[in-house]
Amino acid sequence: MTACLAFAAVLAASSPTADIGSLDELDIELDVGEKAKAEYEARKATPPKVMGSWNFDDMVPGKKGHPRGWWSGIWGDRKVNYGSTVGADGKGRAFLLDVRSITGGELQVFSPGWNLKKGYWYKISFKARGFDHPAGMTVTVREAAGSWRTPCGSTWVRLTDEWKEYSFGGKSWCSMDRGQFGIMIGQGSAGVFAIDDVKVEEYLENPFPSPKPPPPQPVVEGNLIPRGSFESGTDPFWCYEPSNFDPDEVLCEPSLTRADEGHTGSHSLRFAGRKKPDGKFSCHGNIESLEIPVAQGRKYTFALWAKSEDPGASVTIGGKSSQESFEIRGTTVHLVPGSGWQLVSLTTKPMPKGVRTVRLSITPHCGAQGVLVDSAFFGTESSCRRRFVSARPFELDITFRRGTPGIDPHIVEWGEKLPLTVGAWPVDGTGKGRTVGATLKVTGFPDKKGAELHLDLVAGEEKAIDFDPGLNGILRVELVPDDANDAQRLETIMGRLPKPRATGAKGRFGIHARISPQILAHARAVGLTWERIHDCSQITKMGYANPKRGEYRWADAEVDALRSYGFSILGMPDYPPKWFYTEKWIEDENAKKAADKKENAIRLPNSGEVNLDTDEDEILADIDKRRRDVDKKARSYKVVLCDIEAFRTYCRELAAHFKGRIDHFEMWNEPYWDTFFKGEKWQFMDVFHAGAKGIREGNPDAKVLGYCNEFNNAGQYAAAARKRPIEEKVDYNSMHYYYMGIPGTGEFGVEKIVAPYAKEFKEHAGSELWNTEGNIFGGSSFYSWRYDRDGCESHTAFGVRGWCDSFFDGIDRVFIFGMFNTDGCRNGGLLNTIDYDRSLTGWGAATATTAYFIDAMTPHREVASPKGAKLRVFSDGVRASAVIFDDCLEMGRPVFDATKLPAGWIAVDAMGNDLHREPDGKRKLSPVPFFVSAEGVEPAALGEAIAAAVLPPAEDVGKVE
């Protein structure tokens, strides 16, 4: 900085009007700059200080336990064997962690501590490996004994079967007395791991080489939009981005379809408004593109043509970059009915340094007629000159010709062919009748080759094909031109899944889905049966349905839509309006004590612990410490009181209105958070049970769920519940369990969570336990340009095991938290339940198969697993089904031989592909399960036959020395 100031002074001195000042002063400044530079070079050359080093060679072979000074944290329920194995050099020892199981939280193992200094750099290096079933682990520097601060970084590594060296670190943003190297092995990542040669070094300057800046993006001329003429009925380059979450708007969400007229070519994109329950038209949201590479310093033109017959219709175009927060300033054109196609265009500023890609957006506003968009162009300013230039002379087309375009998913049932229309459409009107060669190809999960068909397409003509993909599950369908100069390759995602079973309220597969026709159709197609009314849509919440006293608005259209798609509904009456809460200042000390010394008062410290029957002094101390404003002089304090009777009245009206349509209610979401229950904690049980009483008054057949605990705190409300009259007991217990891995990994699963609920609540809650909010583990698109096989396999494995192991271990319903905030490019398409363009994911395909085989069935835990495998058996008295996958705690992977099963039994993979068609009928087990099912077979007999079909791995595979 000083050197820069000195240089500025020299420049100023060269000006005729500058005050030159003292040359001696300038020399001093320059000297200081040179001195600082020399000091920097000296600091950089200073050898690092070793803060800690562990090679584990002093560990004794065969002796169990941690290395000297190392220890484990206590977050979560786990079983781990600690010891040593042969070191990375093949001679010494290494620290071995045999992780048998983790449920809830993580395994945390820490080194001895060292002091960290603010502003210093730290480099942590280590070697690590897995054995036979490598998983991932997070390594970090953390203040383990105090807060969870991570002052100089962390990294996640995917281990291999061989030793590899890793390093990470950074500049410490704070000083710390006891920084510790920590290994975090997430829940579900059971297996055998080893680490060696851990070293922590302190540097005065950054020891890490500066990353090389990426080369400048090349300037590419022409249209960078691959299919700007919108000739295909399917184009993953664009996706719909919702922008309005009003339930009526969402229910009538616009759809993207292809129109049979165009500004150029034969078609255009139609953004169609849809009628809402009030008779008005919904036309909200916008269309966004995938990332487009751009060159630094160049201006780009974005242009398209649009038309509409709706009075007041308009189109806005713009864009943005995820780098440098760069915005392409939008422009709007109002479309005049009867004026035909109108140009909408803009030219960007020069692309700044650091911006390498942009996303384009098209935002139409329309009514019943909708807006047509065509001839979209994005390219350098010199490439356009206000006229449309196509990327290729033809655009290929793959259209799914079943269901309602823009709403129904591109999914057929097992055994059905894909109903496709394909074509090659000339963009400029010339070339009609020419033959364009292309090959239709199918790829299944994970990289399974399906059917291929070469086609001679007549340009300008549609060709209907009923195409047998040769595979089940998620399908990547491609149309590849023989000549890349004719057209760009086109791919889309489709599915061939089992027909969803009509299990009704007995179904166990739940979701949080936005109530739009597109989302509901997709959710039902993958076998989901329950909807929880929470963040996805608040139509049963008090704040939405009872905004003013005595005023109700009932979302009949939304509820009827859910029912029409076959969903059972878990309503939630919480999230009250502001008038439900009253702030009250209490000045009398005795009144203060009386209010807080209420029987069954619940105190919730930051840890989430519930403390019942706390003595008076502790309550008052807690009040002073936590969120109440205390005026010590006036001896007054503020409380937030709930209108308990109003909640009871609302719940009664809600249950009565939707009787027969909504018959299950979870009373409150995560009430242990002040964000969700804003009243006094001692009032919660009264509020809860007043609402439950109202539900039962309005609908005596309704079932009440509570108390929505955090999963590993079964006793959170149990003591208070046991003091309530027995007739107030909840019908089903509920909790939230967020998975940190894939269930079913290790020696035990979520039964460690289930058992405490029965123990704590006794007869004051029904026997069923519902997980009403859980996340997904893994995530990957099946589109070729973003496909990550490892991520997709984890995602797909969870699509089976997240359900089956929850049910197997005693959870009765599971509601995955997704399908309302995961579609769209804004989330980077880091999907959970649905891809960015609302196409199928591996999770969705695996969920459909799982629901088909085990939904509404009873688990049979008495059936033993064969060696090297995990077996989950279910039955309904007619069918028996089994889920089988590799046991990561056993070395090697068993082979499953479907030919050893009795004739007529079904054996398929997670996608539904017949295992009998594998070479010799054999296939190795993996984390992604297989299914076996048969009718008229007892669960024990099913298990015995499967055990006979499992060939164990060789004894010496993956042996740990």
Secondary structure element (H or E) that encloses residue 473, with its range? strand 473-481
Distance CA 85, CA 95 (A): 7
Q: In the prediction, which pLDDT does 569 show?
A: 98
| 11 pLDDT above the threshold of 80 | no
C-alpha distances out from residue 459 to 234, 467, 480, 481, 491, Å: 18, 20, 15, 12, 19
Question: Which of these, 128, 173, 176, 131, lies nearest to 152 by C-alpha position?
Answer: 173
pLDDT over 70 at 547, yes or no: yes
pLDDT score at 397? 97
Mean pLDDT for the stretch of residues 53-57: 95
Candidate ranges 125-134, 157-166, 696-705; pick with highest mean pLDDT: 696-705
Supply the CATH classification number for the domain 50-203: 2.60.120.260
Please report the pLDDT score of residue 2 as a whole number: 32
User: Over 50: is that where the pLDDT of 23 sits?
Assistant: no
Write out pLDDT tens, residues 550-566: 999 999 999 999 999 99
DSSP string, 838-870: S---HHHHHHHHHHHHHTTPEE-TTSPPPTTEE
Residue 440: name the closest of 460, 470, 410 by CA.
Answer: 470
Residue 255 has pLDDT above 70, yes or no: yes
Give the DSSP letter of residue 809: T
Residue 41 is predicted with a pLDDT of 77
pLDDT over threshold 50, residue 829: no
Kindly state the average pLDDT of the residues 305-326: 91
- How many angstroms separate the CA atoms of 778 and 773, rounded? 17
Per-residue pLDDT for 774 more than 50? yes
Residue 799 has pLDDT above 70, yes or no: yes
- What is the predicted pLDDT for the residue at 738? 84
- Are 61 and 93 within 8 A, CB to CB? yes
DSSP state of 765: B
Residue 367 or 787, more confident: 787
Q: How confident is the model at residue 25 (pLDDT cuts 50, 70, 90)?
A: very low
How high is the pLDDT of residue 870?
A: 94
Residue found under tokens 């009206």: 653
Q: What is the pLDDT of residue 820?
A: 67
351 — alpha (psi -120 to 50), left (phi > 0) or beta? Answer: beta
Task: Using the predicted structure, report yes or no on whether residue 696 has a pLDDT greater than 90.
Answer: yes
What does the pLDDT read at residue 620? 44
Domain spans, the chain: 2-45, 50-203, 238-391, 399-497, 504-577+643-852, 580-638, 858-951
CA distances from 547 to 255, 535, 657, 936 (A): 31, 17, 16, 54
Place of tokens 């605990």: 709
Alpha carbons 918 and 901: distance in angstroms, whole number:
14
User: In this predicted model, which residue has the larger pLDDT, 18 or 450?
Assistant: 450
pLDDT at 132 > cutoff 90? no
- Residues 63-108: tens digit of each pLDDT: 999 999 998 876 667 788 999 999 999 999 999 998 887 776 677 8
Mean pLDDT (the chain) is 86
Assign domain 858-951 one CATH number from 1.25.40, 1.10.3470, 1.10.10, 2.60.40.
2.60.40
The pLDDT value given to residue 787: 92
The CATH class given to the 399-497 domain equals mainly beta
| pLDDT recorded at residue 105 | 65
- Whole-model pTM: value is 0.88
Fold of 504-577+643-852: TIM Barrel (3.20.20)
Among 132-141, 160-169, 676-685, which stretch is predicted with the lowest mean pLDDT? 132-141
Say whether pLDDT at 498 is over 80: yes
**In which band, very low, low, confident or very high, does the pLDDT at 502 lie, cut at 50, 70 and 90?**
very high
What share of the chain has pLDDT > 70, as a percent?
85
Tens-place pLDDT, residues 576-629: 999 999 988 776 555 455 445 443 333 333 333 333 333 434 444 444 444 344
| 6 pLDDT above the threshold of 50 | no
Does the structure show a pLDDT above 60 at 10? no
* DSSP class per residue in 61-85: TT--SPPTT-EE---EEEEEEEEEE
Helix (H, G, I), strand (E, B) or coil at 529: coil
Per-residue pLDDT band at 312 (split at 50, 70, 90):
confident
* Spatial distance between the Cα atoms of 153 and 123, rounded to a whole number of angstroms: 10
Confidence of residue 145 (pLDDT cuts 50, 70, 90): low
The reply to whether 858-951 shares the fold of 399-497 is yes
Domain 238-391 has CATH 3.60.15.10: no
Instruction: Kindly tell me if the per-residue pLDDT of 20 is higher than 60.
Output: no
pLDDT for position 19: 30
More confident residue, 705 or 599: 705
CA distance 632 to 628: 12
Q: Exposed/middle/buried for 832, CB within 10 Å: 0-12, 13-18, 19+?
A: buried
Q: Are 380 and 219 in contact (CB under 8 A)?
A: yes
pLDDT of amino acid 639 = 85
**Exposed e or buried b for every residue in 553-585, given b needs 16+ CB within 10 A?**
eebebbbebbbebbbbbbbbbbbbbeebeeeee
pLDDT at residue 175 in the model: 84
Decide if pLDDT at 18 tops 50. no
- pLDDT surpassing 80 at residue 387: no
The predicted pLDDT at position 911 comes to 98
- Rounded CA separation 456/463 (Å): 10
How many Cα neighbours within 13 Å face the side chain of 153? 16
| Tens-digit pLDDT profile for residues 848-869 | 999 999 999 999 999 999 999 9
Query: Out of 312-321, 379-388, 657-666, 705-714, which region has the weakest mean confidence (pLDDT)?
Result: 379-388
Does the pLDDT at position 634 exceed 70? no
Q: Provide mean pLDDT across the span 774-796.
A: 87
pLDDT tens per residue across span 738-752? 887 788 777 766 677
